[in-house]
Structure formats: C-alpha cells, structure tokens
Amino acid sequence: MTVASALLSFAVVALLLTLIPGVDTALILRSAVVRSKADAFIAALGICTGVFLWGLLAAAGASAVLAASHLAYQILTYAGAAYLVFLGGQMIYRSMRRKELGPTQVTVASSKWRAYGTGLVTNLLNPKIGVFYIAVIPQFTPADANALLMGAALAGVHVVLTLLWSAVVITGASLAGKWLSTPTAVSWMDRITGTVLIGFGLKVALSRP
C-alpha cells in the first residue's frame, strides 16, 4: 500500500463518518441559524482542531490508553456525556427564558471564541474519535511510512472532508435563513438542538466501550 492509496482509502471511511448526522452537525447547523455563518465556520474549525489533535494523539500512541484502560475510557466518556447534557440543557433553558430576558448582549469576539471552544471541547471529550483513530491508523499506515506523519496526514484528510461538509450544511442553513431566523424559529432551533445534544449525551453515557 502506497501513501497515496492509503489516503484515498481512508478518505472513503472518513467521508462516511463525516456524513453520519451527529453532535458536530447539530452544533454547526445551530450556529449557522442562531448566530451567523462566521460563527458556524468557526465552530467547524474548533471541531476540526479536535479531530486533528485526536489524530496526532492516536499516531503518537497517547490515546492507546483509552483502548487499554477501561477506567480512562469511562472517565472521558462520562465527562463528554455530562458536557453534552449540560450544553443541551443550557440551550433549552435559554430558549425558554429568551422572551423574559430579552436579547442578550454578546461581543463578537466572545461569540467567536465560544463557538470555537464549544466545537473543540465537544470533539475532544468524545473518546470514540480517539478509539476510531487507534483502530484505523495502523490499517492505513504503509510499513515504510512514519506513523506520526501519517497520522497527521490522515487527520488532515478528515479535517478537509469535515470542512467541506460543514460548508454544505452552513450553505443550506443560510438559504433557509429567512424562515429560520425569526425569534420563534430560533427558540425552537435551540430546543431541538438541546434535545439532540442531551440525547447524544445519554447515549454516550449508557454505551459500552
């Protein structure tokens, strides 16, 4: 297997993983509808940073601890689940309180950092991404290739695919923005997204490694 063929084969696997609706898609869609396209792209960059870091950690062998230690995996799993439930609950709470509190004043810089941080933390607290890379990197690393560089290359492919899919999601949300940007629609988007995040959090907490 050559490096080029390994990257192409991995791209197929990563594309399938990217297209499956999940927390990442929900966060990007919500940012595009509730905030702006810029916030949505920055959230996507945060998610991609998490993907790239997981790829590097897996290639370096650091995330092998997750595969070897049931306790480490469970700790990260419950931390990630708790974060998703908290994030979802916060969205639902704010949607219920929006009329009472009125529009919130959030600076542009604060909004951008929040979008990036939410995407990054959500991804880093997902141990299954690390386990995914632990499983695939050996399969897509040619015998004569440097494991760390190959891990970075594979993660880079995943990042590019994630950004392309994010652009599709954001563009679709922007086209429907006229109907989705009303206060009522925004509140319902927060409630739906919050419910999805809580559901994913509970699923993660109850799943077995």
Sorted by where each begins, the domain ranges of the chain are 3-206
The two structure tokens encoding residue 116: 């990036």
Residue 152, judged by CB atoms within 10 A of its CB (0-12, 13-18, 19+), counts as middle
> Is 138 strand, coil or helix?
coil
Residue with token string 């192409």:
8
**3-state DSSP call for residue 167?**
helix
Q: Is 102 left (phi over 0), alpha (psi -120 to 50) or beta?
A: left
0.85 exceeded by the pTM? no
Q: How far apart are CA 163 and CA 167, in angstroms?
A: 6
Which of 14, 45, 11, 10 lies closest to 170 in space, CA to CA? Answer: 45
Tens of pLDDT along the chain (209 residues) come to: 788 888 998 898 888 878 877 778 888 887 887 777 888 899 999 999 998 988 888 777 655 555 566 666 677 667 767 766 877 787 677 667 655 444 444 444 557 788 898 888 888 877 677 777 777 777 787 878 777 888 889 999 999 999 999 999 888 877 766 565 566 666 666 677 778 768 777 776 776 55
